[in-house]
């Protein structure tokens, strides 16, 4: 029973390029969450999605960032025109319902050069 799968594990992008981060939730989990983590800091909420719906995107920057969780396929976090400040670890988590604990993926470490 595979856990939450994130890919790629590491991603290097030049300033101005696009970054696409993928997340396949655990089987049976319909709630997907994206968090961002800077070194030696906690996780900052970005967006909460269910299939084909964005439930809460209050943590997403207004520009350049978008997320989707289509009916088929993984959830995608997309960052357009990346800047150095976007460098961070991005974690995806899934849960079977709200207010239950999360299962996290291993994260995607984005480095913008």
Partner 1 sequence: TQLLEQSPQFLSIQEGENLTVYCNSSSVFSSLQWYRQEPGEGPVLLVTVVTGGEVKKLKRLTFQFGDARKDSSLHITAAQPGDTGLYLCAGAKNNAGKSTFGDGTTLTVKP
Residues in contact with partner 1 by CB under 8 A are: 4, 31, 33, 35, 40-45, 48, 55-56, 59, 91, 93, 98-107
The least distance separating partner 1 from the CB of residue 60, rounded to whole angstroms, comes to: 12
Q: Which residue, 69 or 91, has its beta carbon nearer to partner 1?
A: 91
Q: Which residue, 82 or 93, has its beta carbon nearer to partner 1?
A: 93
Q: Which residue, 17 or 111, has its beta carbon nearer to partner 1?
A: 111
Measured CA to CA, the distance from residue 82 to residue 74 in angstroms comes to 22
The least distance separating partner 1 from the CB of residue 108, rounded to whole angstroms, comes to: 10
Q: Which residue from 7, 36, 29 is spatially nearest to 101, judged by alpha carbons?
A: 29
Per residue in 42-69, is it b (16+ CB within 10 Å) or e — as a string? ebeebbbbeeeeeeebeebeeeebebeb
């Amino acid at each position: 029973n595979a856990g939450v799968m994130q890919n790629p594990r590491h991603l290097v992008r030049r300033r101005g390029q696009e970054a696409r981060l993928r997340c396949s939730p655990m089987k049976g989990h319909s709630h997907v969450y994206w968090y961002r983590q800077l070194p030696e800091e906690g996780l900052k909420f970005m967006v909460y999605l269910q299939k084909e719906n964005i439930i809460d995107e209050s943590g997403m920057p207004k520009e350049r960032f978008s997320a989707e969780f289509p009916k088929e396929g993984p959830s995608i976090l997309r960052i357009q025109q990346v800047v150095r400040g976007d460098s961070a670890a991005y974690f995806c988590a899934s849960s079977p319902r709200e207010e239950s604990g999360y299962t996290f993926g291993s994260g995607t470490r984005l480095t913008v050069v």
